[in-house]
Structure 1
């Protein structure tokens, strides 16, 4: 059995049509969607990056020891999943950018993808990443 780490990115949101919210209250649902609260709102996540679990650990080990960024990314082995949102963008972008000089070509590619995903969050704060450890 192999393990992977999957970075899934919010690709869209929609209002659950099976939610029995009365028509006259739909405006509240759409307002909730706009401000990010989940009242009958479904998030659609799309896999954006997948890496083998041992390789993920080696990649995270290239981040500065003891840094907030490294502790954040070490949450995947510890808890099985983490969420990366707009509050993490600057910290993680700085850490992954600084680590590239000591990374392998494969790790640099993942860092580039990570920086691209972080840029998407920076441009649209409602976007986030769900990072999960999966057993295949």
Structure 2
């Protein structure tokens, strides 16, 4: 529910298919991230059950507080990954055309995820990763009475 001009009365609920997550870029490390590496990481997230997608096919977020404006906002809430729920903060920005971009930093081990590693550690994901999203159009739910 988005209440324009009154973020305290707004709420956000999101569900993501766990198998749809992809690594888009990597920085640092001993080896540059290639398209083949990205494909292998995506396969490993599901096939080797790092996210246990068969048991936990979705990742959910439910807000507990929304602050800011549509142009610059912060949403705190409960993030559930692999059946474990912990607090998370999402930061975001919007443009005048309704496009929203946001990000949250997630420490994988908090949710019981062992960070991906390959080539004897030459290629690995950090425990702390930034998740990003882009929403082209929001459809507000009916506001509660």
Quick check: which one's helix share is greater? Answer: 1
Q: Which has the higher strand share?
A: 2
**Same fold (TM > 0.5):** no
TM class by shorter chain equals under 0.3
Higher relative contact order (CA 8 A, sep 6+): 1
Given the two structures, how large is their TM-score scaled by the length of structure 1?
0.26
**Normalized against structure 2, the TM-score is what?**
0.25
